[in-house]
């Protein structure tokens, strides 16, 4: 019994797609291709969603604390400050936020804008 060429082509296509999916699963499961970066070197400290596709992330990297804006096709560095490990466990209080707002820093301006959005 001979297979029609159309059935043979469809079966071959399904077989190739299955092999591709199996290969992708294997690569993802084994972590092949992932860089040698340790969790100590790069860490997301905090993340704030601004909408469906935009967010702000605070990242520790190489002794620096970076504030980055993330959009679907772009990542923008918004602030870059030295990281002080002793302040990591402390949570910012309202008085610190007020001082930042008065000093005109990016964090203070961002907090003012977020508070205005919540009020309206």
- pLDDT for 59-102, tens place per residue? 988 888 999 999 999 999 998 888 776 555 444 444 554 554 45
Residue 81 and residue 99 in one domain: no
Which is more confident, 36 or 58? 58
Residue 46 and residue 85 in one domain: yes
Residue 84 and residue 43 in one domain: yes
Residue 48 and residue 80 in one domain: yes
Percentages helix, strand, coil for the chain (3-state, rounded to 5) are 45, 25, 30
The reported pLDDT for the residue numbered 37 is 53
Domain that holds residue 23: 1-34
Asked if 73 and 84 touch (Cβ cutoff 8 Å), the reply is no
Question: Dihedrals φ, ψ of 36, to 5°?
Answer: -90, 25
pLDDT band at 12 (very low <50, low <70, confident <90, very high): very high
Residue 52 and residue 64 in one domain: yes
The reported pLDDT for the residue numbered 2 is 67
In order of 24, 72, 82, 88, 104, the CA distances from 18 in angstroms are 10, 30, 49, 47, 57
pLDDT band at 33 (very low <50, low <70, confident <90, very high): low
Question: Dihedrals φ, ψ of 102, to 5°?
Answer: -70, -35
Confidence (pTM): 0.42
Residue 85 and residue 97 in one domain: no
The reported pLDDT for the residue numbered 57 is 92
CA torsion sign, 116 to 56 to 89 to 65? Answer: negative
- Residue 35 scores a pLDDT above 80: no
- Cα separation of 66 and 80, whole Å? 5
Residue 100 and residue 68 in one domain: no
Residue 46 and residue 82 in one domain: yes
The reported pLDDT for the residue numbered 63 is 84
């Amino acid at each position: 019994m001979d297979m029609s060429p159309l059935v043979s082509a469809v079966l071959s296509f399904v077989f190739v797609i299955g092999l591709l999916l199996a290969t992708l699963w294997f690569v993802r499961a084994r972590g092949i291709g992932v860089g040698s970066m340790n969790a100590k070197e790069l860490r997301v400290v905090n993340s704030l969603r601004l909408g469906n596709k935009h967010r702000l992330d605070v990242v520790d990297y190489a002794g620096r604390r970076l504030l980055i804006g993330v959009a679907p096709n772009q990542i923008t560095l918004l602030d870059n400050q030295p990281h002080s490990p002793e302040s990591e466990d402390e949570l910012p209080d309202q008085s610190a936020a007020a001082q930042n707002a008065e000093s005109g820093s990016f964090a203070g301006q961002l907090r003012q804008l977020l508070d205005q959005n919540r009020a309206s």
